[in-house]
């Protein structure tokens, strides 16, 4: 990792050497509100991840996974990338992949917590995963039509497929 300059509300530059990304949330213009800097760390390891860090995912699912099941999913995936808010000690986004490392890879899960959406975390997760899967000729991801435009920015194209969903 390398130092990342962060611009604070008063124009003072600060350096951070142990984080690879950031999210800036601002107060309303003219209110004198300070900038709130959220440091987001990206990792591909589950070694330090606990179930307490995995609260709030699987939003809108009929049968959402428990944090315990979520941790097992992360542990048993071939590749993962996690976005962590170290200030809150919480995972705020993740992506998983299953692959044979030769011909095919499947990205079954990509999710960012609602409070962190719209801040490029999902884009960073997908970019990092695609880099991990570089050289694999067939990478598949199933998504709803309303998010196809998001995945198209990474060179993905719509496809037709079949599936079984028991949830």
43-96 residue pLDDT tens:
999 999 999 999 999 999 999 999 999 999 999 999 999 999 999 999 999 999
In this structure, is residue 4 part of a structural domain?
no
Residue 80: domain span: 40-152
The tally of CA atoms less than 13 A away on the side-chain side of residue 43 is: 16
CATH number reported for the structural domain that contains residue 105 in this entry: 3.40.630.30
Question: Of 111 and 38, which is predicted with more confidence?
Answer: 111
d(CA 104, CA 37): 39
**Which pair of tokens denotes residue 45?**
């390891």
The two three-digit tokens of residue 35, written as one number: 């900038």
Give pLDDT, residue 75. Answer: 98
Does residue 135 have a pLDDT over 70? yes
Neighbours of 120 (CB within 10 A): 15
**Residue 87: CA count within 13 A, CB half-sphere:** 7
Kindly report whether the global pTM for this prediction surpasses the value 0.85.
Answer: no
Residue 29 belongs to some domain of the structure: no
9 lies in some domain = no
pLDDT score at 50? 98
pLDDT in tens, 2-34: 333 333 333 333 334 334 555 544 444 445 555
* pLDDT for 166: 82
Burial of 98 (0-12, 13-18, 19+ CB in 10 A): middle
**Do the beta carbons of residue 19 and residue 86 sit within 8 Å?**
yes
Cα–Cα distance, 163 to 136 (Å, whole number): 22
Residue 17 domain flag: no
Measure the CA angle with vertex 130, ends 47 and 136; round to 5°: 105
The yes-or-no verdict on residue 153 having pLDDT over 50 is yes
In a domain? residue 16: no
The answer to whether 46 and 74 are in contact (CB under 8 A) is yes
3-state secondary structure of 106: strand
Q: Does residue 54 sit within a domain? A: yes
pLDDT of residue 37: 58
Apex 88 CA angle, 107 and 57, nearest 5:
35
In a domain, 21, yes or no: no
C-beta of residue 150 within 8 angstroms of C-beta of residue 158: no
* Count: domains in the chain: 1
Residue 2 lies in a domain: no
pLDDT over 90 (residue 167): no
């Amino acid at each position: 990792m390398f130092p990342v300059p962060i611009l604070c509300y008063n124009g003072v530059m600060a350096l951070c050497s142990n984080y690879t990304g950031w999210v800036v949330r601002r107060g309303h213009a003219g209110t004198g509100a300070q900038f709130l800097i959220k440091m987001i760390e990206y990792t591909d390891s589950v070694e330090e991840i606990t179930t307490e860090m995995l609260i709030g995912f699987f939003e809108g699912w009929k049968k959402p996974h428990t944090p315990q099941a979520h941790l097992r999913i992360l542990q048993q995936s071939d590749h993962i990338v996690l976005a962590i808010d170290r200030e809150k000690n919480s995972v705020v986004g993740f992506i998983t992949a299953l692959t044979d490392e030769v011909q095919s890879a499947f990205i079954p899960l990509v999710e960012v917590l609602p409070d962190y959406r719209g801040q490029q975390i999902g884009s960073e997760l997908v970019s990092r995963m695609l880099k991990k899967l570089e050289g694999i000729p067939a990478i598949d991801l199933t998504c709803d039509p309303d998010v196809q435009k998001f995945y198209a920015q990474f060179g993905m194209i719509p496809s037709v497929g079949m599936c079984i969903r028991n949830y």
